[in-house]
A and B are shown apart, each in its own frame.
Chain A
Amino acid sequence: MGAKWYLGTGAQNDVVINTSIHIARNIRSFPFPSRLSLPEKLKVNSVIRDASEAIDDYSFNYAEMKMLSQSEVVSLAERHLVSPEFASSRDGRALLLTEDEAVSVMLNEEDHIRLQVMYAGFALDEAFKTASSIEEQLSRKLDFAFDDKLGYLTQDPVALGTGMKASVVLHLPALVSTSQITKLIATVSKLGLSLRGSYGEGAAAKGDMFRLSNTITLGISELAAIENLKSIALQIAAQERAAREEIFKTPVIEDRIYRAYGVLKYARMIDTNEFMELISLVRLGAVKGLIKMDCASIEALMIHMQPATISLSVDRPLDRVERDKLRAAMVRQNLG
């Protein structure tokens, strides 16, 4: 698959998996996507595509979603390059994507432009700098819908203002196993942030992966929102480390980690849920130095083992049994 952003190792990567910045923008002279006909959407796509060609330092591949197969689109969603909503209806939608998949731009999703920048590890400042630079270069070519009082205008009034959403994905196995997560989700929501499962929602978050994001877009600057997110993320990371200290005081967790590793290493069939549960334990073991595996390859494995991405790797649709067999084989191979 070539060198992708998630193959790098980032800061704080014992807890922080990755960082992303999303920016929503609309072009003033076109109605929002839900009011556009198909030919008008295609026109919007080509206007934005033209503007993207003038961006320094980044070159984008352009794809009409209609031209991709269902598995390809779902795989893009599994790799968090497009939203599940974007994947569900492909007409008139397009994607701009850099080769390393670090920068993606969804065209005609909820807004004309949904820019996303992803970095491995904890890198809010860097990701924001990149996103702003791309946004700024697009704004030289496109007249964005902006209002002095309301900020950047979006199709859904909930997102208006900065139109920016910053997120960090956190691996919180110890906070989940010590049942602190539910309380944490409630606390965080009072601070203008949201904490939800990154693969699957709420308490059913697969692989103990959670996405922490800002929810406030009006009355606070982008930088203030990012500072706020940064400080809460670091506090949660500190709590997770403290909880890890606690759980490692008994031999139970070590046993669970080695059992998880054993199953992954020898299983002949494995479904997504079981894989995610076990790989979460293996990641915890790797961070603690019990298992010799680097975090970046664990993250890559998590992404590559999702159902549609697996089917894509063999270029044909697979039924559940075939997929679970193939997943087990690929995991065994990766675990050496």
Chain B
Amino acid sequence: MICQNCNKNEANMHMKRIVNGRAAEVHLCKDCARSLGYGEAFTGFGFGGLLGELLSKGEQIGSSVRCSFCGKSFEEIAGDGKMGCAECYNIFYDKLLPSLNRIHGKASYSGSRPQKEASVELRIEELKVALKAAVEQQNFELAATLRDRINDILAEGGEQ
């Protein structure tokens, strides 16, 4: 059997786990198992540090991409296990996916959803509050991102 992660080496680590109610089988080669953190599958399972622990074992670290919204880098997320903002999930989605799968399984979301998408007025109003706070803080990078977002929403609204 070939490793599910690199699709190259022979898989020699086989794990069966029940995640979110479903049995999931994982077949990995030694190197991928280690880099995905499976080597320590049976050791401590701290809550806060879990993600940081997982991510810091990944090999993708070294890029200096920062979140365009909050400015947090992937290394920093790996360092403290905390996402910087909602946009971080978008920007680092591919890098996060192996860890998310490890924490939650490959399950997809099936819970409740917001009743309806937030109205344009509400989104703009909130962004303006955030913009004001960012300017007061002299966080001009974030302020510029927020301003662009407001303009994007207004442009979308204008087209409709």
Contact = CB atoms under 8 A, between A and B. Distances in A.
A148 interface: yes
Contacts of A47: 126, 129
A156 B112 contact: no
Nearest to A30: B130
Contacts of B122: 141-143
A29 B145 CA distance: 11
B72 A35 contact: yes
Contacts of A52: none
B85 A150 contact: no
Contact of A29 (B100, B103, B129): B129
B26 interface: no
Nearest to B96: A157
A31 to B, nearest CB: 4
A161 B111 CA distance: 7
B20 A219 contact: yes
Contacts of B21: 192, 216, 219-220
A148 B96 CA distance: 16
Interface in A19-35: 26-32, 34-35
B66 to A, nearest CB: 12
B85 A161 contact: no
A248 to B, nearest CB: 37
A151 interface: yes
A258 interface: no
A164 interface: yes
A75 interface: no
B108 A39 contact: no
**Among the interface residues A32, A140, A192, A218, which one has the most CB atoms of the partner chain B within 10 A?**
A218
A29 B126 contact: yes
Contact of A31 (B69, B99, B132): B69
A151 B85 contact: no
Interface string A118-133: 0000000000000010
A152 to B, nearest CB: 8
A221 interface: yes
Contact of B103 (A146, A155, A157, A162): A157
B111 A155 contact: no
B58 interface: no
Contacts of B63: none
Contact of B107 (A28, A155, A219): A219
Contact of A40 (B18, B50, B108, B134): B134
B84 A31 contact: yes
A89 interface: no
Interface string B124-144: 001101101110110100100
B110 interface: yes
B82 A32 contact: yes
A151 to B, nearest CB: 4
B104 interface: yes
Contacts of A31: 69-70, 72, 84-85, 142
B126 A27 contact: yes
Contact of A222 (B104, B112, B139): B112
Contact of A218 (B71, B81, B107, B118): B107
A153 B87 CA distance: 10
Given A30-B130, A39-B133, A156 B82 contact: yes
A160 B103 CA distance: 10
Interface string A135-146: 010011111111
Contacts of B133: 30, 39-40, 43
Interface in A199-218: 216-218
Given A43-B129, A219-B108, 5 more contacts: A40-B130, A143-B118, A145-B86, A153-B83, A219-B19
Interface of B: 18-22, 47-48, 50-51, 69-72, 80-86, 89-90, 96, 99-100, 103-105, 107-115, 118, 122-123, 126-127, 129-130, 132-134, 136-137, 139, 142, 146, 149
29 contacts: A28-B86, A30-B126, A30-B130, A31-B70, A31-B72, A34-B82, A35-B85, A43-B132, A47-B129, A136-B115, A139-B114, A142-B118, A143-B123, A143-B126, A145-B85, A153-B86, A153-B89, A154-B83, A156-B82, A161-B109, A162-B111, A164-B111, A216-B20, A218-B109, A219-B20, A219-B22, A220-B110, A220-B111, A222-B111
